[in-house]
Structure 1
Amino acid sequence: MIKKVNMKRFIYFFVFFLLLTLGLFFIMNTLGSRTIQESLINSSKNQLAYAESIMDGVISEASMYGIQYTADNDVRFYQSRKQELSNYDAQMNKNEISDRLSDQLFSSLAVESIGIYWKPDGTFIQTGHDSLAKLPFEQVTERGWQTYNNSLYYFSVYPYIHQPKNPANIQYIVGVKLKKEYLVSLLGKAVNGDSSNAFFLVNDNLVISGKPVDSRIEQKAKETITPDTQRILKFDYHTGEDDYYVLSKYIEPIDTYLVTYTRMSDFLNPLDRNQQVFVGSILVILIIGLIVILMFYRNFYRNVHLLGKKFYQVEQGNYSTRISENPVNEFFNLFKSFNHMVLKTQNLFASLKIETELRRDAEVKQLQAQINPHFLYNSLFFIMSMAKTSPEAVMQMSKHLAEYYRYLTKLDRHDATLASELQLADHFLSIMSLCKEIHYEINLPPELGEHRIMPLIIQPIVENAIQHGIEERQGAHRVSIEIKALDDGALIIIADDGKGLTPEQIVLLAARVESESPPPGSRGIGLWNIHQRLKNAYGELSGLRFFTNDWGGLSVMAYIDFSLDEGGEHAITDCG
């Protein structure tokens, strides 16, 4: 893999690495932000639940005071005793009740005042000194929590057990007023630092808060919150500059919502600044890296590319090429050595010109014998017919066709392996599957791929399977190539679901390939050629074997003995 890394891939890898780093940092930053948000929200929920529990205690305390004095005997019989007592004694009795109410408030932090109002004669007793304190009592018609003049009251009426349906039958009213300052202080237990605020929303119209409440969030809360007594509800609110999360808890006894909202930007801005610094650092590294790559390209890669280009020209047979550049670095001596080498090579090839031309003529004749003109014509006509309708098919055909013939032109290098031969067969089958319906399967154990064999052993058998098997049977379309490890060699099995042969025909074919001389005509000479080459290279047991497979077609089997290691040293002779 390292050998395949070039300059372009290195640049791609460098950019990909930076983008991957940015992506990972973005994911980590997102996860960190989400963790902080969840932590803040859970903390706010805990604080809200704590404030709610205190509020429940305040509600219970106020209700208890109301019920206690509604059922108190001194309060119940105050009116009847008042008629029996003198003015002095009646006043003393009233003062005694007032003192008891005042003494009760010494131990309470949440209750501001307690008042008792007798409706029949308008008598009123209270713990405070507010001259208007009686007004809310005069409007009471039933027991429960009520608001008056931005204050929260709990009213209890007598008779208590069976509350009168007609408000005129109420004898007296006990009212408990909560301290607004205490409620405001209670909000401090529900907020999360200076970035949070909280307020009570009573009866959807009264807002109790110690600090100014954002009117937009207040309006949004009125539109969003629902009276759910079991859960703490949450929703997000976004403005042009800030993001908030809003929590609400419905307190059913007083029909009030405890609402908190927290500005997230105060907590996430440090993370955003860190992200900006990191992105800036990555961009600086990217710029520096690109500058280094540019310098590397100008001083090294360009010279390497030039040298590779010249070597390619030499490889193509241009032995007159020279490198005229004179870089002021280590490449000067390298280019000088290259020019000297090419000059020597040119002289050498001049002295061997006659021998090379003769050899080339022989190789051309051999190659022409290898190439099936009809196969080439069909492939080219396929490319012409599909050029406008299916460019993808043209690309695939051109790719496989180029790889197929490139392999054939390098057969004189004697470097054929099982893997390379199967790759040639794969290109051939891919070309055939584009032209017609061919389904094929190639199975090669990885440990056998690099073993050397004689070239052009597998592909002619595959070609024979298609031409004389599949094409002669309607609906046939399957080809299978399977390689199995066997002792010190490999077993090659090529099967098709084509026309197949009868037992008599199989015996006749086996006898034909065993013959010492090739069969007359062109039919069958390819299999005879392969059979003879296998026997000469790997022994008698390595010849071709034929049998009918489960598909009804013909299977051809050959054995390759790797211990002999003579595969690439034999002449290439094949006729279609």
Structure 2
Amino acid sequence: MKALFDTIKIYPKLIITFLIVLTPLFTLSLVMNKYGSASVKSEITNSMLSKVHFYNSTLENEFGRTIAIMREFARYDDLDLLSNRTEIMNYYEQRGAIRNLQKELSVIKNSSTYIQEASVHIPSIDRTISDDNFGTIQQDEFDALNVLTNHFESPFIYWQDRLFISLPYPIKSNRQPPDFVVDIEISIPLLKNALLQFTNHTAGNTMLVHFEDGWRIGGDEPEGFLQAINSVIQADNADNAELHSATVDGQKYLIAFEKSKTLGTTLIMYERESTVLGPLDRYTVWFWMISILTLIVIMIVSYSVYRLIHRPLRTLVRAFRKVEHGNLSVAFDYRGRDEFQYLYTQFNAMVQRLQQMIQEVYEQKFRVQHAELKQLQSQINPHFLYNSLFILYRLAKKSRDENQIRFSKYLSDYFQFITRNSSDTVTLAEEVQHAKNYVEIQKMRFASQIEVAFGELPASYVDLTVPRLIIQPLLENAYKYGLEEKETGAKLTVQFAEDQADLLIRVEDNGELADEELIANLRRKLDVQDAGLETTGILNVHRRLQLQFGAEYGLVIAQGESGGFSVTIRLPRTTSM
């Protein structure tokens, strides 16, 4: 088999490989689709059966309760008096008994939403009494209702498109008329509306059918539809709720029904299969369409891969990615004699040369960075030193006070920091403290001429390792070029702010020399990566920050909100040394 597979060309191999990989997935998807469809269909059918059983039980309980109320009413004393003892009752007693009956009939009528009218027919006085009427007995209606029915198996009487439950009382064996007949008329519109609410879908309906008496409530389909459903029901003698599928006039229906032993009726719920199960069929169609489309895509992709010689190029791309992540030990041992042999050989030579150049550049950059830092540390501003010593001289001539002590401490800490050469880096907390010492010295010099606001360093950045002397040169620049000549209203602010994973240190003054041309010129100098530029002051700080943290960090120069210079230092949250 392997030898046969080796003789097949690449394009058929790719197609076969894709099919082998995807066939189990398609098979699993098909099985899951079938299982899911069957599960959903089962849930739908069980739901229909549950609803039919629930609604049928609801009707049985409702009408069973109504019949019990009728039987209780038949034993009412006033009803016995009016039907058998009117000759011993005067007019007022009769009127009182009639009003009592009407009240009871009103209670019966209001006991169920399906009751349209509750009446009692009393032949001895030839009167029909209801909750709101007192009239002569209609003989045809009385004859229709004076029928003995089995209230436990089939209590309904269907007469002239009206539905009744009647109770002749008492039952006499000599064909004599009863003392009275209690009847309740069921509201067919209300019952039909309730049946309509049982079905959620517009393509289905619910109806209550009495096959023996030949009447039904609900359902607008023709008689042929009912006959077709009847044939399905008659073929099933089950007493519990059942579900069948039947085709009527070319349309498939799901039919759920349950026979009522106490009402003699059958509750039928039917819905079109296309409405209930239509979405499942659409999912199956979509599955096969996607399967065919996937097969076409496999053929196209396989052909494209075949044309592009995917495998050798993929190997080469992986090698480039390793180099991109810093792995310079990648090398190919390609034994072929085709064009890829030349590519792989040149790739090996390129990696070796790249490794050599990176080593050379790294060593050179390290030497330059180290030299620049040492040079900056050895520089002491003569102007600042002169002014500081002059202030110290003036304070010494005065009597001893706290200012002289503080100034001497600030000055000694300042010179100790800038002349300490044991390390090229310090913690950010140390750098900030040095900047504060510098500001305190300048406060001695300028007194209340310059107002300084120095923010607090966030605690999460206290131990961040940074190059030495990155904040103090910016403060010195602000004093020298922005604030020194400003006689009143001079302000200097140092703020700390977090920007996502970075820290921003903003030094801003309100000097009057920060015009747009000067700021643009400084920005251009910051963007130029030229070792020939000056390496002191702002440019020096910017370059050292980029050498340590990368090109995305350093200084950003802008015009402040008060019109002066605004220089922002961007530092990362963490750094590795």
**Band the TM-score falls in, shorter-chain normalisation:** 0.3 to 0.5
Q: Report the TM-score when normalising by structure 2.
A: 0.45
Q: Report the TM-score when normalising by structure 1.
A: 0.45
